[in-house]
Every structure is written in C-alpha cells, then in structure tokens.
Amino acid sequence: MAISVFPEASAAKTKKIASFKSSSSWTVPTGVTSAIAYCIGGGGGTIFDGTAPGAGGTTTVDFPTAVTATGGAGYQGASQLQLRVSHRNGTDNTGEGGQSGAMENRTEGGGYTVIGGAGQKITGYSTVTPGNSITVTIGAGGTGSGVGGSGYAYIEYYE
C-alpha cells in the first residue's frame, strides 16, 4: 500500500486557507494538485409546541470526491404549564443547534431545555486540478424559535 504525503515533498510550500461563511466557489490556484476540506453542517432548530423545527442544512465542498457534512436534527419540546419560554439562536458559522427553554409555574421550580442537534464535522482530502472551480455550499441553520447556527467550510492547500 502506497503512502500519500501532504503536501507533496518536492519543495518548500506555504500553507494557505480559503474560508467560507456563505456559499461561493474556489478556483484551484496554479500548481496546487491536492487540498483538504473542513466542513461543518448547519445546526438544528428548536421549538416548543407548534410547527416542527427544521434540520440544519448540508455543507459541501464539491471536490472530485465531495466532502459533505450533514446538518443537525431539529428538536421539539412540549410543556403543559409554560409560564416563560425563551429561545437562543445558535452562533452563525459554528453549526450549533438552537435552544428553547420553558419554565413551569410551580414554586419548587421546574422546566427544561431542548437543544437542536449540532451539524456534523467532516474533513476530507482530494486531488484537484489547477484552474478548476470548486463549488462550496454552506448549510443554513435549522428553522424554529431557536434557530440553528449556519455551517462553515474552509479549504487548506499548499502553494
């Protein structure tokens, strides 16, 4: 079995990073023949009662062998004695799930929080062709009262 070395051991090269907070494309620079993609899917949304929350969106770097991170699941809570309900959105570009909490109307306290699933984190290596355009799709955060954080991607390469 052959062993791959990244970057290729031919000459000294400089590490570069192309980061993506929204969907875009990346043109492979001259002389670059391999790259690593780091992807985080969007976080799932949350809600109490009402309409079901949405899952986070998928983040993909469309290398010849695509690198894909799926979004987190949405979660729904139900509380019969809601006094106060609060929501917190996941932070953008982290894949965090949204949060929803309910405090119940009892003197001894009580309540609970539901948290949307975190987006998947995936790393993948691929050979690339200089001059080719690589599509990068960033997953949106899941819908709900507590909206999930959007995904993120970056590409590491050496030139």
- Give the Cα separation of 31 and 52 in Å (integer): 48
pLDDT at 115 (0 to 100): 84
Asked if residue 61 lies in contact with residue 33, where contact means CB atoms within 8 angstroms, the answer is no
Cα-based distances in Å from 157 to 2, 24, 121:
21, 17, 19
- Give the Cα separation of 11 and 66 in Å (integer): 28
Residue-range domain boundaries for the chain: 19-158
Q: How confident is the model at residue 80 (pLDDT cuts 50, 70, 90)?
A: low
Average pLDDT along the chain: 86
pLDDT tens-digit profile of 40-57? 999 999 887 677 889 999
Give, rounded to a whole angstrom, the gap between the first and last alpha carbons of the chain: 27
